[in-house]
């Protein structure tokens, strides 16, 4: 009983000291201006994959800063639907044929993105549909967004909305 009484006295003192009565203290110093973190993107157009490398290096434009913690995603313009809407596919993207497969894939540094083809078939047999005049969108995704599991990166349209990418701000780099 004595322990219980001691507990009640201590709890009463604790709650009494948590009162919201009294004057408000002085305002603290102003904080730094906030940074509006948004995704950034650029488009790589006119990409021709020719042998023997079947690769293109796309420089990241000077106005786009890539931090070591950022993620870079690349989307391939796979097709255009009957209504004229672009169909973007996140790469790596594998294309299957009866005699094998190949894929669009990439790697990157903080300064460029290497987009290339690889597969178990002779890439010289792919034809212009897969190797000439290809278009890609490169998205730099700040770590704050990359860590957010609710963002659907498999869909360029959903990602663009989630990270506030404006199509009008996307610069095109042509590689013809």
Q: For 64-122, how does the pLDDT look when each residue is reduced to its tens digit (9 = 90+)?
A: 889 888 999 999 999 999 999 999 999 999 999 999 999 999 999 999 999 999 999 99
Evaluate whether residue 128 is within a structural domain. yes
Q: Which two tokens stand for residue 94?
A: 């594998």
Domain count of the chain? 1
Evaluate whether residue 142 is within a structural domain. yes
* Structural domain range at position 94: 40-174
List helix spans (H) across 68-133: 128-131
Evaluate whether residue 9 is within a structural domain. no
* Three-state secondary-structure class, residue 105: strand
Evaluate whether residue 133 is within a structural domain. yes
Evaluate whether residue 1 is within a structural domain. no
Report if pTM > 0.95.
no
Evaluate whether residue 4 is within a structural domain. no
């Amino acid at each position: 009983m004595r322990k219980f009484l001691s507990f009640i006295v201590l709890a009463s003192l604790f709650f009494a000291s948590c009162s919201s009565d009294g004057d408000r203290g002085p305002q603290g110093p102003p904080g730094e201006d906030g940074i509006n973190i948004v995704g950034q993107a650029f488009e790589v157009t006119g990409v021709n994959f020719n042998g023997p490398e079947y690769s293109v290096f796309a420089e990241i434009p000077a106005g786009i800063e890539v931090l070591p913690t950022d993620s870079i995603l690349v989307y391939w313009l796979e097709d255009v639907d009957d209504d004229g809407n672009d169909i973007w596919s996140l790469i790596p993207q594998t294309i299957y044929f009866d005699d094998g497969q190949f894929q669009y894939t990439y790697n990157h540094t903080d300064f460029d993105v290497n987009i290339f083809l690889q597969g178990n078939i002779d890439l010289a047999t792919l034809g212009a549909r897969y190797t000439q005049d290809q278009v890609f969108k490169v998205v730099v995704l700040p770590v704050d967004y990359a860590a957010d599991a609710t963002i659907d990166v498999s869909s360029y349209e959903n990602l663009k909305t989630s990270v506030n990418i404006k199509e009008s701000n996307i610069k095109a780099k042509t590689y013809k």
